[in-house]
Structure 1
Amino acid sequence: MRLDAKLAEKKPPEVSAGVRELISEKRPPSKKGRRKHKKPGQMPSAVQRLFETCKEIFADGGTGIVPSPEDVARLRSVLDNVRASDVGLAQNMPYFRRSATNGILPVTYLHIYECDKFSIGIFCLPASSVIPLHNHPGMTVFSKLLFGSMHIKSYDWVNMPQNSDETNDFLHFKPPGVRLAKVKTDATFTAPCTTSVLYPEDGGNMHCFTARTSCAVLDVLGPPYSNTEEGRDCTYYNDFPYTKFSGDAKLVADDDGVYAWLEERKKPDDFFVVGAIYNGPEVMEQ
């Protein structure tokens, strides 16, 4: 998602345009990855294994390009084995305290690595904080809940058949700018749990996170957000119950799916994200 917020005096390293809007304009020098060589016999850290796997899997990636099922399974397996301690996090850190600013609970973002192919970062959420409903255009996203309990609600767009009488009748009362979506996930997850994956066209490309307890989410985005001509800018949404614009009408006979209407919105004023320096094991580019 886009990162728009004010920061304290310490700022995170350089990140993409998509992430840049969540954090302040001033930052220390970029440390995308240190060019070091591992000592002979030295075991790579969990973060280093994650970086190297991402580098292989997203090497030929781009907008709308999804890794093969085998590569998705491989990266998911690597993430499933990452623990909070592997990235230098503990639940008693200040990031997870419920200290509200003007009644707003800030979310902290720890930037680990980013290039034009993928990004790795961690969202730290105090209990009751929310990352509002947003999309991931043309991206494959892996999310690993490192600790805590979180409610996730996600949607995929419904592609309506065009120029049919049934569709025209169904959408007759739909206001402009509102689009039909189907609920993919509406559940609470508690660590340890498997890594979730969403895709450009399915898997819950639009999602919202609500922290039931303090929690941390390790995110891998391939490719990362970009508000350039690549068209991977982040969009936020309001969601409305299905019955608001369609009454009791069913979209498809005998379909027991749950639907909603999504409307684009500006970034919510009560979504406040603070960038912080990642202090876990470094990524070393070979």
Structure 2
Amino acid sequence: MFFRYVAGMSTKLRRFIVTLNEILKPKLNESIALSGDELVAVKHDMKMLTCEDLGICESKLSDAMGDSSRTDISYLKVFENAPTFDLGVFALKKGCKMPIHNHLGMYGVVKVLFGSGRIQSYSQCDDMLPTIGKLLDVNLVDDRVVSVNDGSNIVHLEPHCGNIHSISSTEDSPLVFMDLLTPPYDHVTYTISYFDLISCDPHSSKCKLKVVPEPAEFTCGHLEYSVVAKNDLSE
């Protein structure tokens, strides 16, 4: 098990959660809208977090992610503070891709913790709600390789900019990333939409996406922390 929660939250993680509460709590009675300065502050503090701060045994990641009994994509809930934000960790095996999807009305921040991958994001050209079978005109706003080893290790999406996106690991490396969503899902009425890429103009950023049902082959395993005391870290 490479997720081991050390009893007592790390100082940096605790500070980050306090920062999020300070920024987001005053917005609870309105549509959450983050200013440019607030986004910078959130990304700065999130960028400082490491595998160790999140209770992840980095030395075991490569072997654990190669385990054939594991699902291709796994998710670990780190902290939930409804109705303000969710903080979790996704782990993708080598050569694995999340389907193109959206987080309608949400901000999302992704911080790479281990490995490398690719993130592509699109902005919808109109305000129509995605319905299955519909073709959407979108603009490709970001297409980059992200890696724990360089300055590309943190990216974000906004409610109306880059909100449709896909994330994939490379063929030679798994990808583990922290994922912040605000506001979080209400788990009652909210639904994610999924998309297929139909076409992209090679001379511009214009693309077409088709809204599709959730892909049948898409599965996400759920992980739990194995709680240990600070003086019991020999495993």
DSSP 3-state at the match of 2:122? strand
- Tell me by how many angstroms 1:60 deviates: 3.1
Maintained 8 Å contact 2:199/2:209: no
- 1:119 and 2:86 aligned: yes
What CA deviation, in whole Å up to 9, does each residue of 1:16-52 have, x standing for no partner? xxxxxxxxxxxxxxxxxx9xxx9xxxx9522212211
Maintained 8 Å contact 2:10/2:53: no
Q: Which residue of 2 aligns with 1:76?
A: 43
Instruction: Flag as ranges the 4+ runs of structure 1 deviating above 4 A.
Output: 279-282
C-alpha distance 280-66 of structure 1, shift in aligned 2 (>3 A): farther
Maintained 8 Å contact 1:87/1:280: no
DSSP 3-state at the match of 1:70? helix
How many residue pairs are counted as aligned between the two chains?
Answer: 210
Q: Which residue of 1 aligns with 2:207?
A: 260
2:154 to 195, 205, 218: 195
1:207 to 165, 176, 196: 165
- 1:242 and 2:200 aligned: yes
Q: Which residue of 2 aligns with 1:251?
A: none
DSSP 3-state at the match of 1:148? strand
- Tell me by how many angstroms 1:279 deviates: 4.3
Map 1:68-217 to 2 at 5 A. Answer: 68-89=35-56, 90=58, 92-93=60-61, 95-97=64-66, 99=68, 105-114=71-80, 115-159=82-126, 177-192=134-149, 193=151, 194-202=153-161, 204-212=162-170, 213-217=173-177
Amino acid at match of 2:158: Y
What CA deviation, in whole Å up to 9, does each residue of 1:255-274 have, x standing for no partner? x5322111111111221211
Maintained 8 Å contact 2:199/2:207: yes
In structure 2, list runs of 5 or more residues that go unmatched. Answer: 1-6, 128-132, 230-235
DSSP 3-state at the match of 1:130? coil
Amino acid at match of 2:138: A
- Tell me by how many angstroms 1:97 deviates: 1.6
Question: Percent of pairs identical after alignment?
Answer: 22
- 1:59 and 2:25 aligned: yes
Give the TM-score of the pair, scaled to structure 1: 0.66
RMSD: 2.8
- 1:221 and 2:181 aligned: yes
Maintained 8 Å contact 1:158/1:180: yes
Name which structure has the greater RCO, CA cutoff 8 Å, separation 6+. Answer: 1
What CA deviation, in whole Å up to 9, does each residue of 1:233-266 have, x standing for no partner? 21111111136xxxx9xxxxxxx53221111111
Find the aligned partners of 1:159 and 1:257 in 2 and give their Cα distance: 18
- Tell me by how many angstroms 1:95 deviates: 4.6
Larger strand proportion, structure 1 or 2? 2
